[in-house]
Structure 1
Amino acid sequence: MARAALLPVGLLLCLALACGADAVRKTVGVYELKNKKGDFSIKVTNWGATLMSVIVPDSKGNLADVVLGYDTLAEYVDASSAFGTVVGRVANRIANGSFVLDGKTIHLNKDGTTVLHGGLKGFNRVIWTVKEYVPRGDSPYITLYYHSFDGEQGFPGDLDVYVTYQLSCPYQLSARMNATALNKATPVNLANHAYWNVGGHGSGDVLGQVIQVFASRYTPVDRNMIPTGEVAPVSGTPYDLRAPTPLGTRIGLVSGAGMAGFDINYAVDGGGGFRKVARLWDPQSGRVLELWADQPGVQLYTSNWLGNVTGKGGEVYGQYGAVCLETQGFPDAVNHPNFPSQIVRPGQAYRHDMLFKFS
């Protein structure tokens, strides 16, 4: 199949990045992937390798966009939210912005007492390079690349990072991430931060949607949202979502950083390998999202802190307006030797594969 020229679909935004006395101009664009039938499509921007939209049919064939986001690139660039972005070099939190690696204490660029999602300018706040773009066909895809330099946000070593989004039949979206450490050992933990509402991005809150998480353990946190180091059973707690559970029945029983709602990492059952992680069903539309992945954990976040954000089409997103299902390594694993390691050594490759199945 011939590859399309790397021309963005829709609006282009040129940003000048300071580079010493010079300025390097890079182009940020919007790229669309669409299936042959025309009823399944996504849009991606190379700003933060961001998933901007996912349009899929419901049980009656009605199309809707099931991720929260913005209408314009400028809004994504200016936003403090991480709608649909790839977060890294290390997703989630690192306590005190520091860790010890091979006997050396690494100090990261932190905001307050922790580092969240890679720092103040993580991978969600940079321009990625479009390496390949096949917008149509049986399996349209786009591959994005970013070179993270030694010392970026305090992390050691150069790192080459690739993210590929791809559509397949009938309604499946895969997201494949890989990274290679070039010259120093470094932690790597990438995640996609899409805000899902399978009823449609403007359909209101998700309290009536039904969640199932295939995990019998979770990692409790302290008041600063840092794991205690324990991997505890969910049995007998409000975090037990092994059976299909309406979100509204549990929202008031759990909290994160003092706000009611889920914001917790689950240890996915199955002992590694590619496996089913979670299922989200909207009874109103009949639309189902099933998530498969190969990471040890998944962060369930119910948009507890989302409030009156104007999004696509002028829709206002309120509290509990979406669900984030971020497959990942365990938060703060660099400071907990009992957690699965996130350290990638020179010449080694990190891999993270996700599959979102819609029905």
Structure 2
Amino acid sequence: MKQVTVKNKHLSLEVLEYGAIIRKLKFRNSENSWTEVSVNLESPEDYLSDPLAIGACVGRFAGRLSGGVLKLNGKAYPLTHTEGITLHGGDRGFSRRYWTLQSATESPEKSEVILKYRSDHLEEGFPGTLDVTVIYTLLKNTLVIRHEATTDRPTVVNLTNHTYFKIDSQPLIAHYQLQINALKRAETDSRRLPTGQLPEVSGTAFDFLKERRLGEFTMDTPFLLQSNGDFAARLTSAVSGIRLTVRTNQPGLVVYTPENFAGICFETQNLPDAPRFDHFPDARLNPGETYINESQFIFDSVR
């Protein structure tokens, strides 16, 4: 399994060709010492059986699609599914496939890893041959993740990165301070499928408009981001003094905090099951268009 490491003065990034996985991400803090700021498994081979898609590129459609069928332009495409739910692109999606490591470059100004993957027409049932590029770039104290995709037939695309962030050495994350720049969330049912309702978060357990302690509250929650916001989320640890700021060009953010797990996932993406609801942001991609999901993960010290 191929892997590559690039770094600059502030960040160090290790990437696997399998799943385009971010295996290790480290930040040099204000005390000039390196802190691991992502959850990682002990060896590269452990990712072959990882059920949580730790650090991986998730697609062709991140999150859940319902019904086991994609209806697009009057046609029905049966998708791989489990009990009517296609999760993160199907049985293997993009997170359980080998990508092509195209290049890795390192310099003080810009260090970068580029990977590519071709998803064939009807892979997991999705229409269109999809050519996907993931670019990981280190710019000073910022990790930029850029997903690009083109297709030869009309299809749907929703890509994201599935890194679990852990910004100190504590065994759990209840003490983290979290802020999410979203007035609304996508309500989900008992199967975690969107109902189509977009309730306000104000005054509810999902209200993180002002920074507050995460506590024991766990989420697998899609938020509809404010279009005029200058950030999507902020996460701070008083223990390490590290702050993570997330910015994105995407309309949604899924925040995932598995129970009794020392990590939090910020999935910058479209809303889950978007093709099912006309009032959700459009997930279609047509020939001649380029899908672009670009997000910035900015690390700094606040003490």
1:230 aligns with 2:197: yes
187 and 275 in structure 1: CA distance in 2 versus 1, 3 angstrom threshold: farther
Work out the CA distance in 2 between the residues paired with 1:296 and 1:81: 23
Work out the CA distance in 2 between the residues paired with 1:72 and 1:284: 27
1:281 to 204, 227, 236: 236
1:347 aligns with 2:288: yes
Q: CA deviation at 1:199?
A: 1.0
SS at match of 2:108: coil
Instruction: Identify the range of structure 1 (127-136 vs 55-64) with the bigger mean alpha-carbon deviation.
Output: 55-64
2:62 corresponds in structure 1 to 91
Q: CA deviation at 1:275?
A: 3.7
1:185 to 123, 129, 154: 154
1:66–1:198 Cα contact (<8 Å) kept: yes
Deviation above 4 Å: which 4+ runs of structure 1?
Answer: none
Percent identity over the alignment is 32
Work out the CA distance in 1 between the residues paired with 2:86 and 2:40: 24
Q: CA deviation at 1:60?
A: 2.8
Work out the CA distance in 2 between the residues paired with 1:79 and 1:219: 27
1:208 to 168, 175, 180: 175
Q: So what's the TM-score if we normalise by structure 2?
A: 0.96
SS at match of 1:124: coil
1:262 corresponds in structure 2 to 219
1:247-274 residue CA offsets vs partner (Å, 9 max, x unmatched)? 00x61xxxxxxxxx11110000025xx8
1:275–1:294 Cα contact (<8 Å) kept: no
Q: CA deviation at 1:58?
A: 3.2
1:32 aligns with 2:5: yes
2:255 corresponds in structure 1 to 300
Paired residues for 1:69-108 under 5 Å: 69-108=40-79
2:268 corresponds in structure 1 to 327
Partner amino acid for 1:185? Answer: P
SS at match of 1:205: coil
Work out the CA distance in 1 between the residues paired with 2:214 and 2:290: 37
1:247 aligns with 2:214: yes
2:80 corresponds in structure 1 to 109
1:114-142 residue CA offsets vs partner (Å, 9 max, x unmatched)? 01000011000111111221034320101
1:291-337 residue CA offsets vs partner (Å, 9 max, x unmatched)? 00000000011122xxxxxxxxxxxxxx1411111011010001111
Work out the CA distance in 2 between the residues paired with 1:117 and 1:135: 31
Q: So what's the TM-score if we normalise by structure 1?
A: 0.81
In structure 1, the gaps of 5 or more residues are 1-27, 252-260, 305-318
1:11 corresponds in structure 2 to none
SS at match of 2:46: helix
Bigger radius of gyration, 1 or 2? Answer: 1
- Equivalent residues, number: 300
Partner amino acid for 1:53? Answer: K
1:291 corresponds in structure 2 to 246
Work out the CA distance in 2 between the residues paired with 1:292 and 1:102: 33
Aligned CA RMSD, in angstroms, stands at 1.3
Work out the CA distance in 1 between the residues paired with 2:32 and 2:206: 34
1:207–1:320 Cα contact (<8 Å) kept: no
Work out the CA distance in 2 between the residues paired with 1:43 and 1:33: 7
Q: CA deviation at 1:64?
A: 1.3
Q: CA deviation at 1:72?
A: 1.6
SS at match of 1:123: coil
Q: CA deviation at 1:288?
A: 0.4
Partner amino acid for 1:276? Answer: F
Q: CA deviation at 1:76?
A: 1.0
2:143 corresponds in structure 1 to 173
